């Protein structure tokens, strides 16, 4: 039976937005595996029937490694808990490699979203750490998710120059998308719904980014940027299907399960990929302004803060705050288990 999942994957690479290994075994292989602090905390804090943390051994291993590393030069003033979280996330993600054809994506500490140097140093530290954990793993398959601020995307430019793949995340508008392309990111992840929908079940996003993936794709093609669009932040299967044809898409397990169980005939051809339909106007209005803003931080900051009447800056700030809380939760989990 042709399913909505097969219809989606006909022209779009599928990624899993989870750290649930059992799901990857059952539904993979996938292209990439994406994660962030919230997903990492959800997996790391799982408990078994006995009430113990399912990954307690990994958490303790991470803490022991970090206790030794914290006095070394690579620590760069970061705490044992911060280092342990990095180690733990790498350990959890490396379990997925045999179920992937592409990248393992992990998100840089959101607390460094406005610090270019810290973002670069953290990524380089994690690359070295990964080599130590599994010397057989090709670290070229690591891709770092960095929040789409000017300093964050500037760090992406530096990392890409060193051969380290990056993704501009928490991305809500073309000002961010154009800058990510000019900085040479491997991917961007436009958020169709703002992040709040995943933390507040009573909240409904009434200002969804319906054309952002399409517009960013057209912009990159016109400017010959290598950056690809990895659509993200969906809460309903229909939202994912409306983006069929995007370069790649990262979905939560419940959406993938639903798509696999639903006949393709349940949705009309016009509905499948409707948000990726090429624009009737080319170039898209505003392109010149995006190009000019990407040339300097002050101009870009002003353009970004004004975009969407200030809503996109709010969405980014709230996303960073939410991921920062999840980072704090991960660090507290390490303290608790390692005590």
- At residue 281 the predicted structure's pLDDT band, cuts being 50, 70 and 90, is low
- At residue 33 the predicted structure's pLDDT band, cuts being 50, 70 and 90, is very high
Specify the 3-state DSSP secondary structure of 140: helix
- At residue 282 the predicted structure's pLDDT band, cuts being 50, 70 and 90, is low
In degrees and rounded to multiples of 5, residue 11 shows phi and psi of: -135, 10
Q: Answer whether 32's CB lies under 8 Å from 143's CB.
A: yes
- Can you give the pLDDT at residue 54? 95
Rounded distance between C-alpha atoms, residue 19 and residue 206, angstroms:
29
- The rounded percent of the chain whose pLDDT value lies above 70 is 98
- Token pair for 35: 């994660």
- Can you give the pLDDT at residue 278? 80
pTM (2 decimals)? Answer: 0.96
Average pLDDT value over all residues in the chain: 95
pLDDT, one tens digit per residue, over 94-130 is 999 999 999 999 999 999 999 999 999 999 999 999 9
Tell me what the mean pLDDT of segment 268-284 comes to. Answer: 84
- At residue 74 the predicted structure's pLDDT band, cuts being 50, 70 and 90, is confident
- Token pair for 20: 């649930």
- At residue 247 the predicted structure's pLDDT band, cuts being 50, 70 and 90, is very high
Rounded distance between C-alpha atoms, residue 300 and residue 292, angstroms:
8
- Can you give the pLDDT at residue 280? 64
Rounded distance between C-alpha atoms, residue 260 and residue 257, angstroms:
5
- Can you give the pLDDT at residue 205? 87
Rounded distance between C-alpha atoms, residue 305 and residue 290, angstroms:
13
Domains of the chain: 4-338 (3.20.20.70)
């Amino acid at each position: 039976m042709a399913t909505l999942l097969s219809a989606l994957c006909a022209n779009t690479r599928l990624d899993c937005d989870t750290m649930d290994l059992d799901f990857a075994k059952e539904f993979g292989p996938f292209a990439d595996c994406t994660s962030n602090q919230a997903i990492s905390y959800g997996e790391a804090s799982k408990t078994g029937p006995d009430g113990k943390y399912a990954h307690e051994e990994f958490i303790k291993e991470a803490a022991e490694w970090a206790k030794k590393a914290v006095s070394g030069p690579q620590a760069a003033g970061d705490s044992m808990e911060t280092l342990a979280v990095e180690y733990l996330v790498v350990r959890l993600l490396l379990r997925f490699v045999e179920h992937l054809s592409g990248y393992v994506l992990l998100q840089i500490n959101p607390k460094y979203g406005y610090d270019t140097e810290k973002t670069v140093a953290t990524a380089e530290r994690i690359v070295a750490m990964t080599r130590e954990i599994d010397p057989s793993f090709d670290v070229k398959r690591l891709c770092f998710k960095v929040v789409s601020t000017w300093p964050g995307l500037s760090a992406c430019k530096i990392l890409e120059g060193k051969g380290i793949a990056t993704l501009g995340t928490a991305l809500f508008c073309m000002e961010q998308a154009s800058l990510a392309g000019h900085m040479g990111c491997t991917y961007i992840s436009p958020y169709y719904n703002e992040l709040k929908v995943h933390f507040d079940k009573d909240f409904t996003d009434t200002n969804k980014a319906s054309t952002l993936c399409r517009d960013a794709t057209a912009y990159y093609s016109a400017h010959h940027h290598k950056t690809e669009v990895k659509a993200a932040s969906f809460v309903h299967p229909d939202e994912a299907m409306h983006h069929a044809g995007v370069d790649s898409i990262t979905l939560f397990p419940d959406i993938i399960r639903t798509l696999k169980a639903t006949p393709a005939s349940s949705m009309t051809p016009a509905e499948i990929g409707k948000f990726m339909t090429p624009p009737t106007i080319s170039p898209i209005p505003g392109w010149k302004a995006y190009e000019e803003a990407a040339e300097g931080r002050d101009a870009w900051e002003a353009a970004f803060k004004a975009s969407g009447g200030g809503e996109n800056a709010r969405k980014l700030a709230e996303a960073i705050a939410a991921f920062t809380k999840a980072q704090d939760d991960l660090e507290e989990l390490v303290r608790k288990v390692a005590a």
